């Protein structure tokens, strides 16, 4: 069995810095989204221990926790608030596979005539049947789009969960007012 060969490439290409920064941003923004979802799941379920139990979990485990917490929220909450929250969870789940592609792929460099190397894309290997793999090349623009989508999804997740939380708080306040009126 042949071991993979790796080359250390030292480059002064300015595009390399952009690639590395965008790769970092992709991982960080996605991590923020995962943590935000876990925080909301713990809050909606009134279970602070959920944070400790699942702090190393990925979105594929966190999303079902949050989805269930949203679905189990008070049924008097407006359907629109609940649906928006569930749509935000679904949107976040769609980012899981591209995030894994980013985290587990390599940047491919192309040698230039002056002896430097410039990044040309992320090489993503996907398994096929019978031990074969297919490779895809993702360009910088794809990476930038992922970062933008991760940021937008995080903002939407926060807004949707705050909307659901506000609806739950209004419901609780109305319930407490009704209880006080009976006394």
103 pLDDT more than 60: yes
Contact 22, 144 (CB under 8 A): yes
Question: Distance between CA atoms of 37 and 66, rounded to whole angstroms?
Answer: 7
Confidence of residue 99 (pLDDT cuts 50, 70, 90): very high
Angle among Cα 87, 90, 95 to the nearest 5 degrees reads 130
Residue 65 tokens read as 């926790």
Question: Distance between CA atoms of 66 and 85, rounded to whole angstroms?
Answer: 9
Q: What mean pLDDT, rounded, does the chain reach? A: 85
DSSP category for residue 129:
G
Q: Delimit the domains of the chain by residue range.
A: 17-182
Determine which of 86-95, 133-142, 158-167 has the lowest per-residue pLDDT on average. Answer: 133-142
Residue 84 tokens read as 């928006």
For residue 98, what pLDDT is reported?
Answer: 93
Question: Distance between CA atoms of 108 and 140, rounded to whole angstroms?
Answer: 11
Integer angstrom CA distances of residue 135 from 22, 38, 78, 119, 124: 21, 33, 46, 17, 6
Whether pTM > 0.75 for this model: the answer is yes
Q: Which residue has the higher pLDDT, 43 or 128?
A: 43
Per-residue pLDDT averaged across 137-144, rounded? 90
For residue 13, what pLDDT is reported?
Answer: 65
């Amino acid at each position: 069995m042949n071991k993979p060969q790796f080359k250390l490439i030292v480059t002064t290409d300015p595009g390399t810095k952009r690639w590395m920064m965008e790769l970092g941003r992709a991982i960080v923004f996605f991590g923020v989204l995962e943590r935000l979802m876990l925080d909301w799941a713990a809050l909606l379920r009134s279970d602070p221990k959920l944070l400790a139990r699942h702090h190393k979990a990925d979105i594929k485990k966190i999303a079902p926790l949050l989805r269930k917490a949203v679905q189990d929220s008070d049924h008097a909450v407006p359907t629109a608030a609940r649906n928006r929250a569930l749509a935000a969870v679904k949107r976040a789940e769609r980012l899981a596979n591209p995030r894994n592609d980013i985290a587990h792929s390599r940047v491919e460099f192309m040698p230039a005539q002056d002896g430097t190397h410039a990044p040309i894309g992320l090489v993503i290997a996907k398994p096929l049947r019978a031990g074969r793999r297919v490779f895809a090349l993702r360009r910088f623009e794809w990476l930038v789009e992922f970062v933008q989508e991760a940021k937008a999804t995080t903002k939407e997740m926060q807004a949707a969960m705050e909307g659901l939380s506000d609806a739950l708080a209004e419901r609780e306040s109305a319930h407490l007012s009704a209880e006080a009126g009976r006394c």
